[in-house]
Amino acid sequence: MTTTFSALDYCLFVAVLLVSAIVGVYYMLKERWAAKQATSDDLLMGGRQMAVFPVAMSLIASYMSAITVLGIPTEMYVFGSQYWLVALSGILTYPVTCHVFLPFFHKMHLNSAYQYLEIRFSPTTRYLASIIFSVEMILYMAVVLYAPALALNEVTGLSLWGSILAVGVVVTFYTSMGGLRAVLWTDTFQTLVVIFGLIGIIGIGSSQLGGLGRVWNIASEGGRINFWNFSISPFERCTFWGLTVGSFIGQLTIYGANQTMLQRYMSISDVRKSQLALYVSLPVTIGLVTLVCISGLVIYAAYHTCDPFLAGELISRDQLLPYYVMETLGSIPGVPGLFVACIFSAALSSISSCLNALSITLLEDLIKPALHMRRSALTAQAETKLAKLLGAAGGLVVIGFAFLSTILGTTVLQIMISVLGMAGGPLLGLFLMGMFMPCVNSKAGHNNL
Protein backbone atom coordinates (compact mmCIF):
# COMPACT_ATOMS: atom_id res chain seq x y z
CA MET A 1 0.00 0.00 0.00
CA THR A 2 1.40 3.38 -1.00
CA THR A 3 -0.22 6.55 0.32
CA THR A 4 0.58 10.05 -0.86
CA PHE A 5 1.43 12.57 1.84
CA SER A 6 -0.65 15.73 2.12
CA ALA A 7 0.87 19.20 2.38
CA LEU A 8 0.27 19.14 6.15
CA ASP A 9 2.15 15.84 6.48
CA TYR A 10 5.17 17.20 4.62
CA CYS A 11 5.08 20.37 6.73
CA LEU A 12 5.26 18.36 9.96
CA PHE A 13 8.17 16.28 8.65
CA VAL A 14 10.08 19.32 7.39
CA ALA A 15 9.36 21.21 10.64
CA VAL A 16 11.22 18.57 12.67
CA LEU A 17 14.25 18.84 10.40
CA LEU A 18 14.13 22.64 10.43
CA VAL A 19 13.92 22.95 14.21
CA SER A 20 16.87 20.58 14.59
CA ALA A 21 18.92 22.52 12.02
CA ILE A 22 18.03 25.87 13.61
CA VAL A 23 19.34 24.67 16.98
CA GLY A 24 22.65 23.82 15.30
CA VAL A 25 22.80 27.25 13.65
CA TYR A 26 22.03 28.93 16.99
CA TYR A 27 24.92 27.29 18.81
CA MET A 28 27.25 27.82 15.87
CA LEU A 29 26.46 31.56 15.91
CA LYS A 30 26.61 31.66 19.69
CA GLU A 31 30.13 30.28 19.52
CA ARG A 32 31.15 33.06 17.12
CA TRP A 33 29.55 35.74 19.29
CA ALA A 34 31.17 34.45 22.47
CA ALA A 35 33.88 36.59 24.00
CA LYS A 36 36.30 33.66 24.26
CA GLN A 37 37.45 31.27 21.54
CA ALA A 38 35.49 28.02 21.68
CA THR A 39 37.60 24.91 22.23
CA SER A 40 37.07 21.29 21.26
CA ASP A 41 36.06 20.70 24.89
CA ASP A 42 33.27 23.26 24.48
CA LEU A 43 32.18 21.65 21.21
CA LEU A 44 32.37 17.99 22.21
CA MET A 45 31.81 18.11 25.98
CA GLY A 46 29.56 21.17 26.33
CA GLY A 47 32.24 22.85 28.42
CA ARG A 48 31.33 20.35 31.17
CA GLN A 49 28.64 22.78 32.31
CA MET A 50 25.46 21.17 30.97
CA ALA A 51 22.25 21.11 33.01
CA VAL A 52 20.56 17.97 34.33
CA PHE A 53 17.37 18.18 32.22
CA PRO A 54 18.83 18.19 28.67
CA VAL A 55 21.35 15.49 29.63
CA ALA A 56 18.56 13.31 31.03
CA MET A 57 16.51 13.77 27.86
CA SER A 58 19.55 12.99 25.71
CA LEU A 59 20.18 9.77 27.66
CA ILE A 60 16.59 8.76 26.88
CA ALA A 61 16.99 9.69 23.22
CA SER A 62 20.25 7.74 22.90
CA TYR A 63 18.51 4.59 24.13
CA MET A 64 15.31 5.09 22.13
CA SER A 65 16.26 4.89 18.45
CA ALA A 66 14.06 4.55 15.38
CA ILE A 67 15.03 0.86 15.41
CA THR A 68 13.40 0.52 18.82
CA VAL A 69 10.27 2.38 17.74
CA LEU A 70 9.89 0.12 14.67
CA GLY A 71 11.30 -3.12 16.10
CA ILE A 72 9.59 -3.48 19.48
CA PRO A 73 6.02 -3.24 18.06
CA THR A 74 7.01 -6.00 15.61
CA GLU A 75 8.29 -8.08 18.53
CA MET A 76 4.98 -7.59 20.38
CA TYR A 77 2.96 -8.43 17.28
CA VAL A 78 4.83 -11.62 16.36
CA PHE A 79 6.11 -13.05 19.64
CA GLY A 80 4.04 -11.44 22.38
CA SER A 81 4.51 -9.11 25.31
CA GLN A 82 7.41 -10.79 27.08
CA TYR A 83 10.00 -8.45 25.58
CA TRP A 84 8.33 -5.74 27.68
CA LEU A 85 10.37 -7.06 30.63
CA VAL A 86 13.52 -5.37 29.24
CA ALA A 87 12.16 -2.22 30.88
CA LEU A 88 12.67 -3.86 34.30
CA SER A 89 16.37 -4.42 33.64
CA GLY A 90 16.86 -0.67 33.89
CA ILE A 91 16.02 -0.92 37.58
CA LEU A 92 19.23 -2.96 37.91
CA THR A 93 21.33 -1.13 35.32
CA TYR A 94 20.86 2.45 36.48
CA PRO A 95 21.93 2.05 40.15
CA VAL A 96 25.03 0.08 39.12
CA THR A 97 25.94 2.73 36.55
CA CYS A 98 25.28 5.59 38.98
CA HIS A 99 27.25 4.23 41.90
CA VAL A 100 30.03 2.25 40.20
CA PHE A 101 30.86 3.73 36.80
CA LEU A 102 29.87 7.39 37.19
CA PRO A 103 32.03 8.20 40.27
CA PHE A 104 34.93 6.30 38.73
CA PHE A 105 34.99 8.22 35.43
CA HIS A 106 34.11 11.58 36.97
CA LYS A 107 37.05 11.30 39.34
CA MET A 108 39.43 10.74 36.39
CA HIS A 109 38.09 13.80 34.48
CA LEU A 110 38.70 12.27 31.05
CA ASN A 111 37.39 13.36 27.64
CA SER A 112 37.18 9.81 26.33
CA ALA A 113 36.44 6.63 28.26
CA TYR A 114 39.17 4.86 26.32
CA GLN A 115 41.86 7.13 27.73
CA TYR A 116 41.48 5.06 30.89
CA LEU A 117 42.44 1.91 28.99
CA GLU A 118 45.81 3.42 28.13
CA ILE A 119 46.38 4.38 31.78
CA ARG A 120 45.34 0.93 33.02
CA PHE A 121 46.67 -1.31 30.25
CA SER A 122 48.60 0.13 27.31
CA PRO A 123 48.28 2.54 24.36
CA THR A 124 47.61 -0.41 22.04
CA THR A 125 44.60 -1.45 24.12
CA ARG A 126 43.24 2.08 23.89
CA TYR A 127 43.66 2.17 20.11
CA LEU A 128 42.02 -1.22 19.60
CA ALA A 129 39.07 -0.33 21.85
CA SER A 130 38.50 3.02 20.14
CA ILE A 131 38.65 1.44 16.68
CA ILE A 132 36.15 -1.24 17.70
CA PHE A 133 33.84 1.42 19.12
CA SER A 134 34.15 3.56 15.98
CA VAL A 135 33.26 0.66 13.68
CA GLU A 136 30.37 -0.30 15.98
CA MET A 137 28.95 3.23 15.89
CA ILE A 138 29.22 3.58 12.11
CA LEU A 139 27.37 0.29 11.55
CA TYR A 140 24.76 1.10 14.18
CA MET A 141 24.09 4.62 12.85
CA ALA A 142 23.82 3.30 9.29
CA VAL A 143 21.09 0.85 10.31
CA VAL A 144 19.31 3.51 12.39
CA LEU A 145 19.27 5.81 9.35
CA TYR A 146 18.38 3.17 6.77
CA ALA A 147 15.69 1.14 8.58
CA PRO A 148 13.03 3.86 9.00
CA ALA A 149 13.71 5.25 5.52
CA LEU A 150 13.09 1.83 3.96
CA ALA A 151 9.99 1.08 6.01
CA LEU A 152 8.43 4.45 5.23
CA ASN A 153 9.42 4.27 1.56
CA GLU A 154 7.63 0.98 1.05
CA VAL A 155 4.50 1.98 2.95
CA THR A 156 4.11 5.73 2.43
CA GLY A 157 5.97 6.26 -0.83
CA LEU A 158 8.36 8.71 0.87
CA SER A 159 11.57 8.70 -1.18
CA LEU A 160 14.21 6.30 0.19
CA TRP A 161 17.17 8.31 -1.12
CA GLY A 162 15.50 11.58 -0.20
CA SER A 163 14.79 10.48 3.36
CA ILE A 164 18.30 9.16 3.98
CA LEU A 165 19.95 12.24 2.49
CA ALA A 166 17.65 14.75 4.18
CA VAL A 167 17.93 13.22 7.65
CA GLY A 168 21.63 12.37 7.24
CA VAL A 169 22.60 15.86 6.07
CA VAL A 170 20.57 17.65 8.77
CA VAL A 171 21.91 15.54 11.63
CA THR A 172 25.47 15.86 10.32
CA PHE A 173 25.09 19.63 10.07
CA TYR A 174 23.77 20.41 13.53
CA THR A 175 25.99 17.84 15.25
CA SER A 176 29.23 19.02 13.66
CA MET A 177 28.45 22.74 13.78
CA GLY A 178 26.58 23.04 17.09
CA GLY A 179 28.45 20.40 19.09
CA LEU A 180 27.20 18.65 22.21
CA ARG A 181 25.00 21.56 23.30
CA ALA A 182 23.05 21.38 20.05
CA VAL A 183 22.85 17.58 20.32
CA LEU A 184 21.45 17.67 23.86
CA TRP A 185 18.78 20.29 23.13
CA THR A 186 17.71 18.75 19.82
CA ASP A 187 17.53 15.38 21.63
CA THR A 188 15.16 17.02 24.11
CA PHE A 189 12.90 18.32 21.35
CA GLN A 190 13.01 15.06 19.41
CA THR A 191 12.24 12.94 22.48
CA LEU A 192 9.12 15.02 23.11
CA VAL A 193 8.06 14.53 19.47
CA VAL A 194 8.45 10.75 19.85
CA ILE A 195 6.44 10.69 23.10
CA PHE A 196 3.55 12.77 21.75
CA GLY A 197 3.60 10.89 18.43
CA LEU A 198 3.28 7.49 20.12
CA ILE A 199 0.59 8.73 22.51
CA GLY A 200 -1.39 10.11 19.57
CA ILE A 201 -1.13 6.88 17.57
CA ILE A 202 -2.08 4.69 20.53
CA GLY A 203 -4.92 6.97 21.60
CA ILE A 204 -6.55 7.21 18.16
CA GLY A 205 -5.88 3.57 17.27
CA SER A 206 -7.19 2.07 20.51
CA SER A 207 -10.31 4.25 20.43
CA GLN A 208 -11.14 2.85 16.97
CA LEU A 209 -10.84 -0.67 18.38
CA GLY A 210 -12.99 -0.04 21.45
CA GLY A 211 -10.40 1.12 23.98
CA LEU A 212 -7.20 -0.24 25.52
CA GLY A 213 -9.17 -2.85 27.49
CA ARG A 214 -10.48 -4.32 24.24
CA VAL A 215 -6.96 -4.26 22.75
CA TRP A 216 -5.60 -6.15 25.78
CA ASN A 217 -8.37 -8.77 25.60
CA ILE A 218 -7.77 -9.44 21.90
CA ALA A 219 -4.04 -9.78 22.51
CA SER A 220 -4.65 -12.11 25.44
CA GLU A 221 -7.01 -14.30 23.42
CA GLY A 222 -4.37 -14.47 20.67
CA GLY A 223 -1.69 -15.65 23.10
CA ARG A 224 0.27 -12.41 22.93
CA ILE A 225 0.15 -11.63 26.66
CA ASN A 226 2.95 -13.82 28.04
CA PHE A 227 5.30 -12.47 30.69
CA TRP A 228 6.33 -15.20 33.06
CA ASN A 229 8.42 -17.79 31.26
CA PHE A 230 10.98 -18.79 33.91
CA SER A 231 12.73 -21.39 31.76
CA ILE A 232 16.53 -21.40 32.05
CA SER A 233 17.02 -22.83 28.56
CA PRO A 234 19.37 -20.64 26.46
CA PHE A 235 17.63 -21.86 23.29
CA GLU A 236 14.31 -20.12 23.98
CA ARG A 237 13.86 -16.74 22.35
CA CYS A 238 12.55 -14.88 25.41
CA THR A 239 12.60 -15.89 29.06
CA PHE A 240 12.25 -13.90 32.26
CA TRP A 241 15.93 -14.43 33.09
CA GLY A 242 17.17 -13.58 29.61
CA LEU A 243 15.14 -10.38 29.44
CA THR A 244 15.99 -9.12 32.92
CA VAL A 245 19.43 -10.44 33.84
CA GLY A 246 20.57 -10.75 30.22
CA SER A 247 19.32 -7.27 29.33
CA PHE A 248 20.94 -5.90 32.49
CA ILE A 249 24.32 -7.02 31.15
CA GLY A 250 23.43 -5.83 27.66
CA GLN A 251 22.35 -2.41 28.90
CA LEU A 252 25.47 -2.14 31.03
CA THR A 253 27.55 -2.31 27.84
CA ILE A 254 25.69 0.86 26.77
CA TYR A 255 25.35 2.77 30.03
CA GLY A 256 28.62 1.74 31.68
CA ALA A 257 31.16 1.23 28.89
CA ASN A 258 29.98 3.21 25.86
CA GLN A 259 31.45 6.59 24.97
CA THR A 260 28.03 7.84 23.79
CA MET A 261 26.62 7.65 27.32
CA LEU A 262 29.80 8.39 29.25
CA GLN A 263 30.27 11.61 27.28
CA ARG A 264 26.89 12.82 28.50
CA TYR A 265 27.69 12.00 32.12
CA MET A 266 30.98 13.90 31.85
CA SER A 267 29.31 16.96 30.31
CA ILE A 268 27.95 17.73 33.81
CA SER A 269 30.44 19.20 36.25
CA ASP A 270 29.23 17.40 39.36
CA VAL A 271 28.94 13.63 39.81
CA ARG A 272 25.76 13.96 41.89
CA LYS A 273 24.08 15.91 39.10
CA SER A 274 25.16 13.22 36.61
CA GLN A 275 23.59 10.58 38.84
CA LEU A 276 20.43 12.68 39.10
CA ALA A 277 20.25 12.99 35.30
CA LEU A 278 20.46 9.22 34.91
CA TYR A 279 17.82 8.56 37.59
CA VAL A 280 15.50 11.17 36.04
CA SER A 281 15.79 9.41 32.69
CA LEU A 282 14.81 5.99 34.13
CA PRO A 283 11.02 6.42 34.53
CA VAL A 284 10.75 8.22 31.18
CA THR A 285 12.69 5.44 29.44
CA ILE A 286 10.41 2.82 31.02
CA GLY A 287 7.42 4.88 29.90
CA LEU A 288 8.71 5.06 26.32
CA VAL A 289 9.31 1.31 26.21
CA THR A 290 5.76 0.87 27.48
CA LEU A 291 4.37 3.10 24.73
CA VAL A 292 6.08 1.20 21.91
CA CYS A 293 4.99 -2.12 23.44
CA ILE A 294 1.38 -0.99 23.65
CA SER A 295 1.53 0.22 20.04
CA GLY A 296 2.52 -3.33 19.04
CA LEU A 297 -0.50 -4.75 20.86
CA VAL A 298 -2.75 -2.19 19.15
CA ILE A 299 -1.42 -3.34 15.76
CA TYR A 300 -2.04 -6.98 16.70
CA ALA A 301 -5.60 -6.18 17.77
CA ALA A 302 -6.20 -4.48 14.42
CA TYR A 303 -4.76 -7.33 12.30
CA HIS A 304 -5.30 -10.43 14.42
CA THR A 305 -7.68 -11.91 11.84
CA CYS A 306 -5.60 -11.03 8.76
CA ASP A 307 -1.82 -10.62 8.94
CA PRO A 308 -0.77 -8.08 6.25
CA PHE A 309 2.68 -9.66 6.01
CA LEU A 310 1.27 -13.14 5.30
CA ALA A 311 -1.21 -11.55 2.92
CA GLY A 312 1.71 -10.19 0.88
CA GLU A 313 1.06 -6.54 1.65
CA LEU A 314 4.49 -6.06 3.27
CA ILE A 315 8.02 -7.13 2.38
CA SER A 316 9.19 -6.98 6.01
CA ARG A 317 7.48 -7.20 9.38
CA ASP A 318 9.31 -4.04 10.40
CA GLN A 319 6.82 -2.18 8.22
CA LEU A 320 3.89 -3.17 10.44
CA LEU A 321 3.72 0.08 12.39
CA PRO A 322 3.93 2.45 9.40
CA TYR A 323 1.54 0.21 7.44
CA TYR A 324 -0.98 0.33 10.29
CA VAL A 325 -0.70 4.11 10.60
CA MET A 326 -1.19 4.68 6.88
CA GLU A 327 -3.99 2.16 6.36
CA THR A 328 -5.98 2.77 9.54
CA LEU A 329 -5.15 6.35 10.53
CA GLY A 330 -3.95 7.79 7.22
CA SER A 331 -7.25 9.48 6.48
CA ILE A 332 -6.93 11.69 9.58
CA PRO A 333 -5.19 14.95 8.56
CA GLY A 334 -1.70 15.27 9.98
CA VAL A 335 -1.44 11.80 11.50
CA PRO A 336 0.88 10.37 8.79
CA GLY A 337 3.10 13.43 9.08
CA LEU A 338 3.12 13.16 12.88
CA PHE A 339 4.13 9.52 12.60
CA VAL A 340 6.94 10.22 10.14
CA ALA A 341 8.14 13.06 12.38
CA CYS A 342 8.07 10.65 15.33
CA ILE A 343 10.11 7.99 13.54
CA PHE A 344 12.71 10.34 12.14
CA SER A 345 12.98 12.24 15.45
CA ALA A 346 13.97 8.95 17.05
CA ALA A 347 16.53 8.43 14.27
CA LEU A 348 17.92 11.96 14.53
CA SER A 349 18.36 11.78 18.30
CA SER A 350 20.24 8.47 18.22
CA ILE A 351 22.48 9.36 15.28
CA SER A 352 23.44 12.76 16.66
CA SER A 353 24.42 11.27 20.02
CA CYS A 354 26.53 8.56 18.40
CA LEU A 355 28.06 10.92 15.84
CA ASN A 356 29.17 13.29 18.57
CA ALA A 357 30.72 10.40 20.51
CA LEU A 358 32.42 9.14 17.35
CA SER A 359 34.00 12.56 16.76
CA ILE A 360 35.53 12.78 20.22
CA THR A 361 36.79 9.19 20.04
CA LEU A 362 38.53 9.76 16.72
CA LEU A 363 40.04 13.02 17.95
CA GLU A 364 41.10 12.03 21.46
CA ASP A 365 41.96 8.36 21.00
CA LEU A 366 43.41 8.14 17.50
CA ILE A 367 44.46 11.48 16.01
CA LYS A 368 45.91 13.30 19.04
CA PRO A 369 47.93 10.25 20.25
CA ALA A 370 49.27 9.79 16.70
CA LEU A 371 50.36 13.44 16.60
CA HIS A 372 51.89 13.10 20.05
CA MET A 373 53.99 10.16 18.85
CA ARG A 374 55.32 12.42 16.09
CA ARG A 375 56.00 15.13 18.69
CA SER A 376 53.40 17.38 17.18
CA ALA A 377 50.30 19.00 18.62
CA LEU A 378 47.22 20.91 17.53
CA THR A 379 46.43 24.48 18.53
CA ALA A 380 43.09 25.01 20.29
CA GLN A 381 41.65 26.63 17.14
CA ALA A 382 42.85 23.82 14.88
CA GLU A 383 41.50 21.22 17.30
CA THR A 384 38.05 22.82 17.23
CA LYS A 385 38.01 22.95 13.42
CA LEU A 386 39.17 19.33 13.24
CA ALA A 387 36.40 18.26 15.64
CA LYS A 388 33.82 19.83 13.33
CA LEU A 389 35.44 18.26 10.28
CA LEU A 390 35.39 14.83 11.92
CA GLY A 391 31.69 15.22 12.69
CA ALA A 392 30.95 16.14 9.08
CA ALA A 393 33.12 13.33 7.67
CA GLY A 394 31.57 10.79 10.04
CA GLY A 395 28.09 11.81 8.93
CA LEU A 396 28.95 11.35 5.27
CA VAL A 397 30.40 7.89 5.97
CA VAL A 398 27.22 6.91 7.83
CA ILE A 399 25.06 8.07 4.91
CA GLY A 400 27.18 5.93 2.58
CA PHE A 401 26.91 2.87 4.82
CA ALA A 402 23.15 3.38 5.13
CA PHE A 403 22.80 2.49 1.46
CA LEU A 404 24.77 -0.72 2.06
CA SER A 405 22.38 -1.85 4.79
CA THR A 406 20.20 -3.62 2.21
CA ILE A 407 22.45 -6.69 2.55
CA LEU A 408 21.38 -7.18 6.18
CA GLY A 409 18.59 -9.65 6.83
CA THR A 410 16.22 -10.35 9.77
CA THR A 411 14.42 -7.62 11.73
CA VAL A 412 16.02 -4.31 12.66
CA LEU A 413 15.67 -5.01 16.39
CA GLN A 414 17.72 -8.19 16.05
CA ILE A 415 20.33 -6.36 13.94
CA MET A 416 20.67 -3.65 16.60
CA ILE A 417 21.09 -6.16 19.43
CA SER A 418 23.67 -8.10 17.40
CA VAL A 419 25.76 -5.04 16.49
CA LEU A 420 25.78 -3.62 20.01
CA GLY A 421 26.44 -6.99 21.64
CA MET A 422 29.25 -7.92 19.26
CA ALA A 423 31.36 -4.91 20.22
CA GLY A 424 29.84 -3.86 23.55
CA GLY A 425 30.47 -7.14 25.36
CA PRO A 426 34.28 -7.20 24.96
CA LEU A 427 34.54 -3.49 25.81
CA LEU A 428 32.48 -3.91 28.99
CA GLY A 429 34.61 -6.90 29.98
CA LEU A 430 37.75 -4.83 29.46
CA PHE A 431 36.53 -2.00 31.69
CA LEU A 432 35.40 -4.41 34.41
CA MET A 433 38.76 -6.21 34.38
CA GLY A 434 40.58 -2.92 34.61
CA MET A 435 38.44 -1.61 37.46
CA PHE A 436 38.12 -4.73 39.61
CA MET A 437 40.95 -7.13 38.71
CA PRO A 438 44.37 -5.66 39.52
CA CYS A 439 46.07 -8.89 38.45
CA VAL A 440 45.01 -8.49 34.81
CA ASN A 441 47.84 -7.09 32.66
CA SER A 442 47.95 -5.44 29.24
CA LYS A 443 48.42 -8.74 27.39
CA ALA A 444 45.18 -10.08 28.87
CA GLY A 445 43.48 -6.83 27.87
CA HIS A 446 44.59 -7.32 24.24
CA ASN A 447 43.35 -10.89 24.25
CA ASN A 448 39.93 -9.79 25.54
CA LEU A 449 39.52 -7.65 22.42
pLDDT per residue over 94-127, tens digit each?
A: 999 999 888 888 888 877 888 888 888 888 888 8
- Weakly modelled stretches of the chain, pLDDT under 50: 1-2, 409-410
pLDDT score for 36: 53
Q: 155 burial class (0-12, 13-18, 19+ CB within 10 angstroms)?
A: buried
pLDDT score for 279: 92
CATH superfamily for domain 7-17+49-448? Sodium/glucose cotransporter (1.20.1730.10)
The mean pLDDT value of the chain amounts to: 81
Q: Are 26 and 184 in contact (CB under 8 A)?
A: no
Per domain, the residue ranges of the chain are 7-17+49-448
pLDDT tens sequence across 347-368: 888 888 888 888 888 888 888 8
pLDDT tens sequence across 129-170: 888 888 888 888 888 888 777 777 766 677 778 888 888 888
- b/e map of 208-217 (b: 16 or more CB within 10 Å)? eeeebeebbe
